[in-house]
A = this chain, B = another copy of it.
Amino acid sequence: MTVNEFEAELRKVAVEGYYDKHEFHKLLHGGKLNRGQLQAWALNRYYFQACAPRKDATLISRSGSRDFRREWTLRLLDHDGFGQDEGGLERWLKLTDGLGLARNDVLAMRGVLPETVKTVEGYLDYVRTKPFVAAVATTLTELLAPKLHRERMTSMIDAYPFLDKEILTYFKQRFTHAPRDASFALDYVKRNACSREDQVACLAAVTYKCSMLTALLDALFDAYVRGNIPPGAFTPSLELVKR
């Protein structure tokens, strides 16, 4: 594939596999979740968020290029904060606070679905063990994130009046950072996936990442919409599941 064909394929795979068509996602953005379901979403999603700096540090640890590491270190600063900036993880905790979850439970990841744990830990393994350029390519779903975060910010403020703007600041920060990150990663992948084999590995990596994000929503849907909450998993209190 030429570089342009390769980029078009990457974008196609990302768009087709992206989780914005998932039923749980539609319920979330459509304001159809009750507060208990929102809590379950935020708690499980926190497990994924908390793995992000570890995933990014893994990529940094695998790179022999100072330029790559310098750029990718910006992601660590975004997640964990730097100086006065509290960082994205802390902003996510503001969301779980705002939803009424006990912070210590969230930090200890108490009640997270087994499927979430398995899926996220599998992602860390993927990034540690796959060819480096494919590991980088897993992040390309971020090409689609800004649009989704913008929608989420608007639709969730409208749909869930008990969530104030303050609580959703995480998504606002990502408006500026996600495009910067995604464009660096796309450029890197295009320049470094030189062989057919590399390109195929990168396309497989985007497919993998989409299926991984989908698996997180499948698990939430099964447990908290269908009601198959596994033993030990977070169970919303009764008054929060009334709409």
Contacts and interface: CB of A to CB of B under 8 A. Distances in A.
Contacts of A53: 60, 66, 69
A3 interface: no
Contacts of A63: 54
Interface residues on A, range: 20 to 34
A94 to B, nearest CB: 14
What is the oligomeric copy number?
Answer: 2
Interface string A5-31: 000000000000000000000000000
A127 to B, nearest CB: 9
Given A54-B62, A60-B53, A60-B57, A73 B70 contact: no
Most buried by B among A57, A63, A70, A82: A57
B58 A57 contact: yes
A57 B69 contact: yes
A82 B55 CA distance: 20
Interface in A209-226: none
A39 to B, nearest CB: 22
Interface of A: 50, 53-55, 57-58, 60-64, 66, 69-70, 73, 76-77, 80-82, 87, 89-90, 128
22 contacts: A50-B64, A53-B60, A54-B61, A54-B63, A57-B58, A57-B60, A57-B69, A58-B61, A60-B60, A60-B76, A61-B128, A66-B80, A66-B81, A66-B89, A66-B90, A69-B76, A69-B80, A70-B80, A73-B73, A73-B76, A73-B77, A73-B82
